[in-house]
Amino acid sequence: MGRHQIPRHGWHFSEDVCDHVAGFVAWLTYGILLMQWAIIAQNIICLSLSSFILTMKLLPQPQKEAVGEALTPDFLNDEG
């Protein structure tokens, strides 16, 4: 499977997400060094989202379900 293809399963997805997290950290550091607030702000947002995705990918299934239940709005839990 090529590096840019979407994997069907396994740890390949986590490795790609790790690459994204590392890239956002590098760009954030670059933005801080240049004091460019546009670079800093967008990379803080992207780093937060990609870190959440990586964390969810690495969590065991019961903990993923607990996080999912905690983040699901109440109106989606109502039946009927």
Query: Domain segments of the chain: what residues?
Result: 13-69
Say what the pTM is.
Answer: 0.69
Q: Rounded to an integer, what is the distance from CA 52 to the centroid of its chain?
A: 4
pLDDT value of residue 14: 61
pLDDT value of residue 75: 82
Q: Please, what is the Cα angle at 79 between 75 and 80, to 5 degrees?
A: 100
Q: Are the C-beta atoms of 24 and 50 separated by less than 8 Å?
A: yes
User: What average pLDDT does the segment 50-70 reach?
Assistant: 90
d(CA 41, CA 55): 21
Residue 78 CA: distances (Å) to CA of 4, 29, 58: 39, 44, 29
